[in-house]
């Protein structure tokens, strides 16, 4: 039995209001190949451009979502998504190709490229929030793919698989315990500054006196701030 999944993307504000198409010029450098021949579906030529439609979110919707029929488990689809569709433009281009049999490194076996009666399983679905109707749900939001599963044990296996990968540092998936590019930059700056003798500390300007009481700091100590905000 196939392991099915849903894949969704959180659109930016401009794209929520725009008409989108898989063949838009903005995707020229990142557009995955639509490969109808992967499953041997080459009975007759298909005009993919005619099958691709313009997509526009419904009012109030922020997500586009597709269905993936095969290999939806984390160490296959999850791996390809986090490694090869790791930017907003790449993820959006993939989803604009529509529902698919499978996703690979630089291609999607999208139904629009096949001569089969999948008319109701072609276009990306506009939704208010991601919906998990299958075994797994992958969502591209905040610059990376995150992952949820109905099976918690499988989720932990996925995280371990990614962390064990030689390419773990390149993945950047938010739920894999891997830092985003912004977090990496912040860490690098912190490392440079602390290596030059500076200290990294947290400061809390306003604290309840009860917190200091728990630390056994005397009431007349200079360590106690005199600008605390009274807590009820």
pLDDT tens profile 183-225: 667 777 777 777 767 776 655 555 667 777 777 888 888 777 6
- Cα separation of 67 and 132, whole Å? 10
138, 167 contact by CB (below 8 A) = no
- Cα separation of 19 and 58, whole Å? 11
Q: Which residues pair with 9 in a beta bridge?
A: 64, 140
Of the candidates 127, 136, 133, 146, the residue with the CA atom closest to the CA atom of residue 57:
127
Q: What is the pTM of this model?
A: 0.63
Give the model's pLDDT for residue 231. 43
21, 52 contact by CB (below 8 A) = yes
pLDDT digits (tens, 9 = 90+) for 124-141: 889 888 888 888 889 898
pLDDT along the chain (232 residues), means of 10: 84 93 94 74 62 87 92 86 92 94 90 63 82 85 70 55 52 46 73 72 63 78 63 43
User: 138 by DSSP, 3-state: which?
Assistant: strand
User: 139 by DSSP, 3-state: which?
Assistant: strand
């Amino acid at each position: 039995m196939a392991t099915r999944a849903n894949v969704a993307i959180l659109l930016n504000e401009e794209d929520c209001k725009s008409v989108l198409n898989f063949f838009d010029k903005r995707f020229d450098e990142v557009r995955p190949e639509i490969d109808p021949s992967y499953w041997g579906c080459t009975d007759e030529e298909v005009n993919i451009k005619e099958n691709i439609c313009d997509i526009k979110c419904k009012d109030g919707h922020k997500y586009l979502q597709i269905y993936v029929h095969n290999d939806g488990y984390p160490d296959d689809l999850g791996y390809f998504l986090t490694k090869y569709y790791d930017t907003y433009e790449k993820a959006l281009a993939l989803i604009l190709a529509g529902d698919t049999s499978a996703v690979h490194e630089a291609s999607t076996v999208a139904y629009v490229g096949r001569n089969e009666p999948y008319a109701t399983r072609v276009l990306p679905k506009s939704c208010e929030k991601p919906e998990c109707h299958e075994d797994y749900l992958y969502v591209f939001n905040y610059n990376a793919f995150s992952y949820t599963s109905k099976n918690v044990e499988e989720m932990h296996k996925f995280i371990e698989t990614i962390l064990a990968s030689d390419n773990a540092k390149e993945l950047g998936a938010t739920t894999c315990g891997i830092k985003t590019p912004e977090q990496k930059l912040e860490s690098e700056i912190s490392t440079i500054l602390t290596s030059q003798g500076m200290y990294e500390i947290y400061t809390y300007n306003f604290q309840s006196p009860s917190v200091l009481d728990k630390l056994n700091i005397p009431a007349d100590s200079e360590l106690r701030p005199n600008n605390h905000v009274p807590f009820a």
